[in-house]
Amino acid sequence: MRISPSRLTAATLSALATAAVFATPAGAGAFGNEISVSPYGTISDAGAVTLHGTYRCTPGSPHGVQIQAAVLQDSTRVGFGGEEAVCDGEQHKWSATGSLEWTRVHEGPAGAEVRLQSAALGSGFTVRVTYLAESHRDVVLKKSHR
């Protein structure tokens, strides 16, 4: 069974984003690319956490830009996301939801990290990840009442 390069890239990008440690400064962006995260996130009764915010990426951005997010609370760090960004130079809303049913994330203060990133396959099936923008901030997680 042959896996298309775009599917392999998307799967690899998601895996890398989940495992990545975000170490660049808050609000880092380049060439008109930016992403923000709202000060509040929600936790559903089923244990899913949702973060949201806005982003902008330029039309000249690499193909396949995705939004990746992570929540940090106590000694738990969980990455999720994968929504594909529309890079047209306009500001867009985003949201990302991750299932956290097996973790100890709870209502209250947490850290949030979000990135606009792309991945490309290089020679020998190496993956090159490019970070276009990122944001780190303290957030408050609240139970959603739906």
Q: Give residue-wise pLDDT tens across range 100-130.
A: 666 778 899 999 999 999 888 877 888 888 8
Q: pLDDT value at position 138? A: 97
Q: For residues 82 and 88, what is the distance between their CA atoms, to the nearest angstrom?
A: 18
pLDDT for residue 9 is more than 70: no
Q: Write out pLDDT tens, residues 16-47.
A: 443 333 333 334 455 789 999 999 999 988 88
CB within 8 A of 72, min separation 6: which ones? 110, 111, 112, 113
Residue 123 exposure: Cα atoms within 13 Å on the Cβ side: 0
Question: Which residue reads 């709202």 in tokens?
Answer: 38
Neighbours of 85 (CB within 10 A): 22
Choose among 143, 140, 144, 135: nearest CA to 40. 140
Q: How big is the chain by its Cα radius of gyration, in Å?
A: 15
**May I ask the CATH architecture of the domain 5-143?**
Sandwich (2.60)
